[in-house]
Amino acid sequence: MIEFLVTMNWAAVAQIIMIDLLLGGDNAVVIALACRNLPKKQRMKGIVFGTAGAIVLRVILIVFAVAMLQIPFLKIVGGALLFWIAIKLLLPEQQDGHHDLVAGATLMAAVRTVIVADLVMSVDNVIAIAGAAQQADPEHQMGLVIFGLLVSIPIIVWGSQLVIGLIERFPIVVWGGGALLGWIAGHMMVTDVWVVRTLGQPGWLVQYGAALVGALIVVAAAKVRIARAAPAGTR
């Protein structure tokens, strides 16, 4: 045990914890947006089931993540899907007749939304954790990856509850969450392997610019959908 603690790369451990703190918030926002319309008695179930689905997906993606990132257009398609999910999550429930990918009032609808959105976002998260773990001794790397997944569980659960509480007090937080998903989608698309091979590695200004445009697109598209669906007298 002492030898294990001495040989452990604690810098890698610290990096993994920091990655979980930064990236786990994305998952917490998705879960909060998807579960916000659930009855209070079912919210914790939605959070727990959504978190469990997110962790299972990350375990599966650990095996395939590096290879998947080399597939052209994968991030572009994933970003487009995340745009769609983000816009759906911002729409009032009664304005959408499809309850499989909205902030629905049923537990299964919420969990399905979380799993689909997390599948899109988790590849980069897993790569970041695996990259940090590679700094450690090969015998410790898989243990560090598992440690990173375990650390993310309380972060996601607690973060989801925090965001839902903020949404109840400040409904505008919903729009901030949707904009965050649009930000992630925009960044994903501009860093796709096909874009990098064709146009070169985008600089930080291009990446942040694309992310900002993505956030604005989600908010604007959702507002247009809501305005079009509103009765004429209330516009």
What is the reported pLDDT for 140? 64
What is the reported pLDDT for 205? 94
CA distance 85 to 135: 35
**Cβ atoms < 10 Å from Cβ of 90:** 25
Rounded mean pLDDT of the chain? 76
| pLDDT tens-place string over residues 159-183 | 888 888 888 888 888 898 889 888 9
From residue 126, give the alpha-carbon distance in Å to each of 47, 130, 164, 205. Answer: 20, 6, 25, 24
pTM score, whole prediction: 0.70
DSSP H helices in 36-192? 40-68, 74-90, 107-133, 138-169, 173-190
* Greatest mean pLDDT among 124-133, 146-155, 175-184, 205-214: 205-214
What is the token pair recorded at 195? 């874009």
* Angle at 172 (CA atoms; ends 171, 173), nearest 5 degrees: 85
What is the reported pLDDT for 66? 57
**Cβ atoms < 10 Å from Cβ of 217:** 17
What is the reported pLDDT for 5? 44
pLDDT band at 4 (very low <50, low <70, confident <90, very high): very low
13 pLDDT more than 70: no
Local structure of residue 226 (DSSP, 8 states)? H
More confident residue, 96 or 133: 133
